[in-house]
Every structure is written in C-alpha cells, then in structure tokens.
C-alpha cells in the first residue's frame, strides 16, 4: 500500500540556518504530494503541495519539488526563523483515493 | 483559520463509554474526512463522507461510525471506548472528492480515555 517515510526527528537548528527535511514515498498510482505543519496545540495547516512530477510547491519561504525518479518530496528553507518551530508532516494522496497518507512527522525546533 | 470547526476541543471519557465529536466543514465543501492522530504519530484516516454517504474507510473497527448531515456537517461516534482511543481527532473538508483538491483541517478534538 501507499506509504510515506520522513526524516527522523527531532531536528534542532539555529535561526537563519538552512533546513532540509527528507520525505520519500511509495504509491501505486500518481499521487499528489503535500507538506502540512502543526504548531503546538493546533490542527494541521497546509504548507505547500505539488500535484505532478517536477512541480515545485512553495509558501512562506519553504519549497519542495516532486521528484518521481527518486520518489521524493524534500522540504527546504533557506533561512529558518524561531516561528518555524513546529511539527512537519509529509503526505500523499493517490489518484482517485479518498485519504491522505501521512508520514510520522518531524519535530523542528529553531533556537534564537 | 481554515473554516473547519470542531467541538468539543477537549474531553475525558471512561473506558467503555461512548463519545460523539462534531465538525462543521468549510462553506461550500461537501466532503468531510476524519483522522485519528495518536501522540507522536501522523494522522491515520478513519473514513470519509461525501454528500451524506460513507465514501471510504480506513483500518478502524465498526465501533467507529459517522454521519454527515444535509448541511455537510459531520459527527464521529466511537462506542465502547478503549484506552488506545486516546488521541487527537481531526476533521478535514474539501470542495469535493477529487484527489488534487486541497484538504483543510480543523484544530481537532483531544480525547482522553481513562
């Protein structure tokens, strides 16, 4: 079945550092790919998405490129801020499927 | 702010009891899904409702059931609560079932079973 594997956390960085959170997936069809963010005590917010190979999703300085050849959708940001501290989830939704399949989440802490 | 609202935000139940969680979807959205998020894990799909009918179900037992109403709001019911049911329950809505559409989540209902 479909699955998503994320980089093990937690990840701790200093402010203005470069961020990469790795995500790889397994899917039977042609999925859409998503990154969601969950701030403490809150629900999930969509951060960015890509619906086909080679698409780049971007939002709030974060980027991720849909790489079909490596089945990856790594999240990057050039300069992180304290306010980026949260849990990040990679997810996929296969074509025609009802559900999102999530990775286990990566907790990110940014220190001033 | 996603326009998806859930209630209650927190509740505590005793093992064996029943619970009902409620969700109002974003205006214009006819598709509602429910997810269970255990502590430290990613959300797991419970089921989806589309125009008042169940439209897909994850690997959850029948004691997890749901409803969708004509205004597209929804309820999740869990009978015979077990300790492992303690989790954050997330409601999500989308404009329809198409897989490329964005899914918007509410802030969740925290359920503790003691």
Please tell me the predicted confidence (pLDDT) of residue A41.
80
Q: What's the pLDDT band for A40 if we cut at 50, 70, 90?
A: confident
CB contact under 8 A, B102 and A49: yes
Chain centroid to Cα B35, Å, comes to 5
Tell me how far CA of residue A48 lies from CA of A36, A55, B25, B93, in angstroms.
7, 11, 21, 17
Q: What's the pLDDT band for B28 if we cut at 50, 70, 90?
A: confident
CB contact under 8 A, B100 and A44: no
d(CA B18, CA B30): 27
**Does A20 have pLDDT greater than 90?**
yes
Q: What's the pLDDT band for A30 if we cut at 50, 70, 90?
A: confident
Average of per-residue pLDDT across A77-106: 93
Please tell me the predicted confidence (pLDDT) of residue B98.
72
Closest among A41, A29, A46 to A90, alpha carbons compared: A46
Average of per-residue pLDDT across A81-86: 96
Average of per-residue pLDDT across A95-106: 88
Nearest-Cα residue of chain A relative to residue B89 = A43
Average of per-residue pLDDT across B93-102: 77
Please tell me the predicted confidence (pLDDT) of residue B96.
77
d(CA B18, CA B82): 10
| Interface test mutation site (partner B, options A93, A98, A100, A107, max chain B beta carbons within 10 A) | A98
Phi, then psi, of A98 in degrees rounded to 5: -85, -25
- Residue A37 class from Cβ within 10 Å (0-12 exposed, 13-18 middle, 19+ buried)? buried
Average of per-residue pLDDT across A6-26: 94
Distance from CA of B82 to the nearest CA of A (A): 23
Q: What's the pLDDT band for B100 if we cut at 50, 70, 90?
A: low
B44-103 residues touching A, CB cutoff 8 A: 44-45, 48, 55-56, 58, 90, 92, 97, 99-100, 102-103
* Neighbouring C-beta atoms of residue B100, cutoff 10 Å: 12
Please tell me the predicted confidence (pLDDT) of residue B69.
93
Helix runs in chain B, H state only: none
Q: What's the pLDDT band for B26 if we cut at 50, 70, 90?
A: confident
Distance from CA of A78 to the nearest CA of B (A): 25
Chain A residues closer than 8 Å to B41 by CB:
104-105
**Does B99 have pLDDT greater than 70?**
no
**Does A103 have pLDDT greater than 70?**
yes
Q: What's the pLDDT band for B92 if we cut at 50, 70, 90?
A: very high
């Amino acid at each position: 079945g479909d699955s998503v594997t994320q980089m093990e956390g937690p990840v701790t960085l200093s402010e203005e550092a470069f961020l990469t959170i790795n995500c790889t997936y397994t899917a039977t069809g042609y999925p859409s790919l998503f990154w969601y963010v969950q701030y403490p005590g809150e629900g999930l917010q969509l951060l960015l998405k890509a619906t086909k190979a080679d698409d780049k999703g971007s939002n709030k300085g974060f980027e991720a490129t849909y790489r079909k050849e490596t089945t990856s959708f790594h999240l990057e940001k050039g300069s992180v801020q304290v306010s980026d501290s949260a849990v990040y989830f990679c997810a996929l939704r296969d074509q025609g499927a009802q559900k999102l399949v999530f990775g286990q989440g990566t907790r990110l802490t940014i220190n001033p | 702010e996603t326009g998806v609202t859930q209630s209650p935000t927190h509740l505590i139940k005793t093992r064996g009891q029943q619970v009902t969680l409620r969700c109002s979807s974003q205006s214009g959205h006819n598709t509602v899904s429910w997810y269970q998020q255990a502590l430290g894990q990613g959300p797991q799909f419970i089921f989806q409702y589309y125009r008042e009918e169940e439209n897909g179900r994850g690997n959850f037992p029948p004691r997890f059931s749901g409803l969708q109403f004509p205004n597209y709001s929804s309820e999740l019911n869990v009978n015979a609560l077990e300790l492992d049911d303690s989790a954050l329950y997330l409601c999500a809505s989308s404009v329809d079932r198409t897989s490329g559409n964005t899914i918007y989540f509410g802030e969740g209902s925290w359920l503790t079973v003691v």
